Amino acid sequence: MRQQIAAANWKMNLTYQQAQELIKGIINIPHTLAAHQRAVYAVPFPYLTMVVEELKGKTNTGVAAQNCYTKTSGAYTGETSVEMLKSINVEYVVLGHSERREYFNESGDLLAEKVNIALTTGITPIFCCGEALHIREVGTQNDYVAKQLEESLFHLAEDELKKIIIAYEPIWAIGTGKTATAEQAQEMHAHLRSVLAAQYGEVVANEIPILYGGSVKGSNAKEIFSQPDVDGGLVGGASLKADEFVQIIQALK
């Protein structure tokens, strides 16, 4: 079975104390993760080490950075390299989140470079894609999202692509409470898988986890995750509440 992943995206929220309370709270709520399931925590840079420490010995969990730079080291004041992340046992990095594309002008080309450096360093990219409302309204979302994959991933060799996790996050559903229906999520995920299959073949396409993101909650996770091409979720708001995030973890297939 493909890996099923519940990924928390804390974004730029919580103080250190609140972050520690949250991760301890999650750990203290009994929950199980099967061998094919993962709980991944994408937390702000200053809390990465703390969360790595708290999760030590907890199987099938991982920690993600929310961004990285395209170079391994050097005179790039304010940036964080994948080498640094690797050295503190961070295993994943979220790349191409719509907030970074929009507020920080991250282009498909820049993201391709970030994907490359992450893979070179052995860090797994969680690559985000998704369309804005005006694109869905004119019905061109399938081509739009396929192009995002093409721009930043399709230069990869097959064995590199196999290491990617994709997160489909329609922008109109992020933080709005408007979740895509389970059918809308399935439809896009199946489309993305067919786009991957056309480029890399069905065997590879069937191995890539595709997460859904956008107002996933404890109450709707099970229905969304039950769709055949939805392999879990990337969760913002609802990942800031311990009991709700555990409910989401337990909704994984």
- Span interacting with ligand PGA, options 22-30, 71-79, 154-162, 228-236, rule CB under 6 A: 228-236
Nearer to ligand PGA, 9 or 186 (CB): 9
- Cβ–Cβ < 8 Å for 180, 230: no
Residue 165: which of 200, 208, 203 has the closest Cα?
208
- Which of 82, 84, 118, 216 touches ligand PGA by CB under 6 A? 216
Q: Where are the beta strands (DSSP E) in the chain?
A: 4-9, 37-42, 61-65, 92-95, 124-129, 165-168, 210-213, 232-235
Tokens 């993201």 — which residue? Answer: 111
244 binds ligand PGA (CB under 6 A): no
- Minimum distance from CB of 90 to ligand PGA (Å)? 18
Helices 141-153 and 182-200, packing angle to 10 deg = 40
Binding-site size, ligand PGA (CB under 6 A): 13
236 binds ligand PGA (CB under 6 A): yes
9 binds ligand PGA (CB under 6 A): yes
- Span interacting with ligand PGA, options 28-36, 57-65, 101-109, 232-240, rule CB under 6 A: 232-240
- Which of 147, 237, 242, 250 touches ligand PGA by CB under 6 A? 237
Chain position whose Cβ is nearest to ligand PGA: 236
Structure token pair of residue 186 = 């399935």
Residue 7: which of 47, 70, 85, 60 has the closest Cα?
60
Distance CA 129, CA 98 (A): 7
Give the active site residues: 97, 169
- Minimum distance from CB of 71 to ligand PGA (Å)? 26
Nearer to ligand PGA, 175 or 201 (CB): 175
- Cβ–Cβ < 8 Å for 91, 175: no
Distance CA 72, CA 145 (A): 29
- Span interacting with ligand PGA, options 71-79, 129-137, 185-193, 214-222, rule CB under 6 A: 214-222
Nearer to ligand PGA, 100 or 114 (CB): 100
Q: How far is CA 192 from CA 52, 107, 228, in A?
A: 32, 20, 13
- Which of 149, 161, 174, 248 touches ligand PGA by CB under 6 A? 174
Sites of contact with ligand PGA (CB under 6 A): 9, 169, 174-175, 213-216, 234-238
